[in-house]
Amino acid sequence: MRQVELCEALLQAWEPALGDTPRRDYETRPARWLQAAAQLLARHPRERLDGALAYMVTDEILGSQALTMAGFAKVAGQLIVRAYARRQRETSRTTNKSGAGEGLGWETAKQRLQRAVHRHGREGRAAAVRELGEHSELLVRFVERVRWGSLCERPFEYVDRQYAEVWTDLVREGHDSRREPTT
C-alpha cells in the first residue's frame, strides 16, 4: 500500500531527530495518517514527495510543521518548491563553476567567445578556433555546434539565453561522458 510506504518514509526521516515520537502518533491515529498520505499521493508523484521529505529535515521552519503526515500534507507544496529551487541552484552553481571540469562557466565562456569574434571576425574562424581551443575544448565544440558565422552575425545579447542552454548541454555531455565506464 503506497500510503503506508509514504508514512514510513516520513517516520524514518524524523527518527534520527525525534526517535519514536512520530511513530507513536502514527500508531495511535493510523487512519488520519493514511488519509493524509492518500491525499498527497493523489496530488503529487512519489518522486516529488521524496524530494520534499529529503528537503524537510533541512528546513527548520517548514520541517517543524511536518512532524505528522497531516502536518506534512499542509506544507508539502512549499517543501516541493523549495527542494526544486535548491536543485536548480546546485545545478546552476555546478554549471557555472565547471565547464566539464575545466573551470569554465557560461559567463567566462561567453566573454572568450565574444573576444574571439571581435579579434578574428567572420573570416578568421580557423585562428579563433585555435585560440579558443587553448582555453577549452568545450569552446571549440560550442563553435562547431552553433557555427562561427552565427556567432559573428548575431549579437550575443539577443541569443544569450539560447547560447547559455547550448553551453549547459555541452557541459552536461562532458560530465556524462566521463561517468560512462569504458570497456
* pLDDT, tens digit, 9 for 90 and up, residues 124-183: 999 999 999 988 899 999 999 999 998 999 888 888 889 988 998 888 887 666 555 555
Query: Are 88 and 34 members of one domain?
Result: yes
Query: Are 65 and 106 members of one domain?
Result: no
Per-residue pLDDT, 126: 92
Q: Which residue has the higher pLDDT, 180 or 50?
A: 50
Q: How many domains does the chain have?
A: 2
Q: Which of 93, 122, 152 is the last residue of a domain?
A: 93
Q: Which of 70, 93, 116 is the last residue of a domain?
A: 93
Query: Are 66 and 26 members of one domain?
Result: yes
Query: Are 88 and 103 members of one domain?
Result: no
Residue numbers of the domain that contains 60:
2-93
CA 95 to chain centre: 10
Task: Give the end-to-end CA distance of the chain in Å, rounded to a whole number.
Answer: 41
Following CA atoms 31, 34, 40, 44 in sequence, which dihedral angle do they give, to the nearest 10 degrees? -160
- Residue found under cell 527548520: 60
Query: Are 45 and 114 members of one domain?
Result: no
pLDDT digits (tens, 9 = 90+) for 15-46: 999 999 999 999 999 999 999 999 999 999 99
Query: Are 77 and 104 members of one domain?
Result: no
Q: Which of 93, 125, 152 is the last residue of a domain?
A: 93
